[in-house]
Amino acid sequence: MVMRSYNFPGVYVPNIRHADLCVSVAELGSLTAAAERKNISQPAASQAIAGLEVQFGGQIFERTNGKLSLTPRGEVVHLRFVRGLKLLALCDEAFRSHRSGNGKEPANFLRCATSANLRAIVAVTLTGSFSAAAIALGRSEPAVNKSIHKLEALMGVQLFDRHPGGTVATYLGRIVARLSGRALKEFCGALDEVLELDGRFEGTIAIGASPVARSRILPNAIMDLLRRHPRANFTVRDGSQSDLIWELQLGSVDIVVGAVEKTDLGAGLDYRVLFADQLSVVAGAMHPLSGKKDIEASELLGFPWILPPKGTATREVMERAWLGAGMSMPAFGTIETDSMELIRAVLMASNCLTVLSEPHLSRETDPNWVRRLNFELAGGRRKIGLITRAGWRPTRLQGDFVKVLNDAVEWTFSEPEVADGR
């Protein structure tokens, strides 16, 4: 079995307590006052700030008019730190509202949490296993176990239910994982943005993409951005819509390009429609139904089907269409796949039917071999959009990618549908 890989945020996250100290120094304009507020010595505070300046490649503070002020580099770092720490403060509130009834006051989350804790929580939530999380993080399983057990003990709560078949995040665990993943992305964004300040666009854009986006739009957008920023990096994720949305909420991906229906999106997400896509029933050119007019839905069930994987947007459209026609989805003689190579080959060599989007029909199929049937699929017209976390603040590289993505839509579709989907 091949384990699904994940893009975990937070490899180069600064010490959380040092980030908190940095915010206090910026607020108070004094290292001494900030050290007193955080109950640490001034030498320790000086060392912490010096360490941050090494990590972020330059001076964060400068002395002006007798007080410490943020440099331009410091402004970038400070903004990301504030955003990340606010999310961790929400974690602390969640812990306190879900504390166990043992009367024990939970620890202050900001003071006891480390980036290793946060990454472990996100990793176990995504993979559903301590062993898989350990492999993904490059750590030992006992180390990941210890990291989470220690935090649970300090906060007086349980983040995961352990079962022989796997590990599932509790309701609180899911909340903390979402907030932790977003906080890690903010801290990572600080490093990306100071590099951009130096003219180095070397960040990684993690994209969750539906098949229709992967087939035409993303290749154009990625190649366009690489021409502008040759050192940019990309990771492109596939999977069901629900899986990609969950990874977006946890910070494993930065954006999702997929089907957008208001009722399908989770809380804390924004989207903008990019274009409208039409799904059609297709068959091989020599299929008995090819060229036939006024095809009835019942006729389609007399043939084997190639079905998109469960949980995908296309599969959900098919299920609703079949239900609306008073029929059940094909249960026998089916092939479940999203591989265009396999779909193309099977359609050409058999009487199988399937559902494809217009971009797939125009780019990935041979019109001499594959034909659109004269059957209107109910609900087959869907909106494809850009989905982001609510309040997302893109880096310059990410912002540039959104621009070239819009350009790619315009190139691909003569009349792209653009609307505000909020």
Judge whether 396 lies within some domain.
Answer: yes
Distances in Å between the Cα of 130 and the Cα atoms of 163, 175, 178, 245, 422 are 11, 18, 18, 22, 37
**pLDDT above 70 as % of the chain:** 90
Whether 295 contacts 274, CB under 8 Å: no
| One-letter identity of residue 59 | Q
103-117, 152-166, 180-194, range with the lowest pLDDT: 103-117
- 96 phi, psi to nearest 5 deg: -70, -35
Q: Position 145: which residue type?
A: N
Is residue 186 included in any domain, yes or no? Answer: no
Give me the phi and psi of 413, to 5 degrees please: -120, 130
Residue 241 burial class via C-beta count within 10 angstroms: exposed 0-12, middle 13-18, buried 19 and up: buried
Tokens of 17: 């307590």
Selection from 193, 221, 194, 228 nearest residue 393 by Cα: 193
Per the structure, the count of domains in the chain is 2
> Can you give the pTM of this predicted structure?
0.85
CB atoms within 10 A of CB 88: 24
Residue 336, beta-bridge partner list? 307
Is the pLDDT assigned to residue 340 strictly greater than 90? no
Mean pLDDT of 230-249: 91
* Residue 183, burial from CB neighbour count under 10 angstroms (0-12, 13-18, 19+): buried
Do the beta carbons of residue 400 and residue 228 sit within 8 Å?
yes
Query: The tokens of 309 are what?
Result: 């994987």
Whose CA is closest to 191, among 62, 52, 87?
A: 52
Contact 247, 237 (CB under 8 A): yes
Dist. CA 303–CA 315, nearest whole Å: 17
| 219 and 131 part of one domain | no
**Structure tokens of 144?**
């990941």
Of the candidate ranges 49-63, 200-214, 366-380, the one whose mean pLDDT is the lowest? 366-380
Does 4 score more than 70 pLDDT? no
| pLDDT > 70? residue 101 | no
Residues 82 and 225 in one domain: no
For residue 67, give its domain range: 16-181
Q: Is the pLDDT of residue 420 over 70?
A: no
In a shared domain, residues 165 and 283: no
Both 229 and 141 in a single domain?
no
Tokens found for residue 380: 């087959």
Position 195 in a domain: no
Strand partners, 284: 370
Task: Calculate mean pLDDT across residues 79-85.
Answer: 98
Residue 418 is predicted with a pLDDT of 33
- Give domain status of residue 335, yes or no: yes
Q: Same domain, yes or no, for 152 and 59?
A: yes
Mark whether 154 and 289 lie in a shared domain: no
> What does the block give as tokens for 236?
């492109």
Residue 164 sits in the same domain as residue 211 = no
336: its two tokens? 């479940």
State the burial class of residue 21 (Cβ atoms within 10 Å of its Cβ: 0-12, 13-18, 19+). buried
Average pLDDT over residues 188-210: 94
Q: Which of 69-78, 157-166, 334-343 has the highest mean pLDDT?
A: 69-78
What is the structure's pLDDT at 168? Answer: 94
| 8 Å CB contact between 182 and 251 | yes
Assess if residue 23 is contained within a domain: yes
3-state SS, residue 358? helix
The three-state secondary structure class of 197 is helix
